[in-house]
Structure 1
């Protein structure tokens, strides 16, 4: 039987380089999100404008994801990852340029706003490729028996970068302004490009397939929708992010509800992720492979409850505590979902399954931003969050009752099988 080693994935040099690259990218992306949200709300004073940012990124990320998954399965993963980073650097530089004093003095506010939306749309195109590329590359960096450990460290790195990115974004806006903060983000992206070149090229596991694009896309979607465990896990996270999330309107809470300013804005963003980091680090020592399905259902339900209290809160400290706890539950659900996907997905289909994951969960961040913006404008930000959390609880209850394979999922047998296969080889 395989024994858990909390540092198994960290003993692989290329995986450590991958974590460093991912941290730099997500740290920059998280700061960029905070800065853009703050800048757009400062320009417009309209929560709906924040929702439009989500829509601009959602549309390309969602509709291009299946095609991106097909491309990822056919192409070499390291080079594709490198190309995505290079293109992302262009977006970061474009936002840095748009926020300069010269541009702000020469261009109208509406023109700058459209420029931001355009770059965000381009970022959505890249998001369609980033998700499946990263998902596929992880499986090529570590052996199968330590997929759960690698997924935990990767998710922890992602969340950790979100914490410091969101926190630094809010404080840097106050200290050095939007323009220079975006300059730091551009530097981080360039740095990640340099580091990713230290990872060697990887084999293409689906190279010999003669499937057409249409057949390939159908096969990926068919696999996901026929597997109740994977479908249930993706649906739970999608619903939690789509209805329960409120990140897109944190600027409204910081300014108009809690009167916390840019520092409080950064604190709210960081609180949501900080709980996840502690939880994810704990799961490297305490595996989540036992009663996996039940843990996923409970964690998403707990997330919804915390968001309801956050929406009703008028106190900064209570709001921060609730976001911290929601981050704890979110961390559990993220590790469980990534572990399920890594273990249950065939190697030749990782790009397409990763793309569907991006459609369900990644793109729901942007669609959730639009939903939050519209709901906040109609009902007000506090009531919008309370209603979203309530919808999350209802959906979790329905899936828990209807999806028996997910409810009874236990991954210990799968882990042991992968371990025995490795020993036999």
Structure 2
């Protein structure tokens, strides 16, 4: 069947997560890459192209705001093939939109990646790219985590304006807001429509309150590389974690791999912020989708050797984490089971909330009429069976 919108595709025989609620068993109708209707039951459309969900769940495609790599590739490898490998690997795990993320580096390496991204940003072989997330290099040394200390520095207008002028694709920049010049930098980002995000920071509550006034309304990988309650000159201060909980303007992101954020902290975060203020992120490095063993954090040329074991990447001395190897399906599964949240809430944190944070919730993150037909089908164990982007099947489990 064809209408004025073209050939109709229908996805049927599955429970639809909208994601505000479980719609129940229904049928999603698609034409020209958009959702044109949701009908209860197994709705028939003569002449349509049908896809049977086989009793599974039909949900919006997952949106990953923060990922460095997967499939033994990292965006800092700075090749087109590595970028495509990452997109394809994350697609297999239900991600339909991701935001390529950099690490602190020298500008030569960063500029090379900006040029590569410009060539591959419209690729359609895997999860789509939503824009660039620069993580660093403006971080607090004491909270650097696995970021290479050689590249950490304070914001320099001459430097960051050159970077901003080199690319129109930057949509988010993670920095420590307490550094000299960081608040002025936040103002510039905010005016350009780029999200300033708090990360790798020694900020206390009062610093975060001030940062919010300069556009810092999001916190990168909450709990990781930031302080909680701290003492300075014998006095006790609330830290960045407490600020994230107390300030309603702030959204947070969680790496719910069960290691970076174990079950009690998942529950605490949702109890305090609610699903509408939390985005699940993989923050994955090249080890995502790979077996355990030695790996590299960052580029092959300039990265740091790490070890993958126990479902996480560690520094070689095993004294700290070096990155996540999570995929989006794992995040949803863990929030659902370990975090003990309803499935629609877990899905919301991987779909609608990320879309709202990035200002694209008018077309992404929901199964609703007029929205892009980015859809995943998964079973009760959150194993991905099929992935659609703009109504086209890009992955199907053999």
Range of TM-score over shorter length: under 0.3
With normalisation by structure 2, the TM-score equals 0.24
Higher relative CO (CA 8 A, sep ≥ 6), structure 1 or 2? 1
Q: By percentage of residues, which structure has more strand?
A: 2
With normalisation by structure 1, the TM-score equals 0.23
Q: By percentage of residues, which structure has more helix?
A: 1
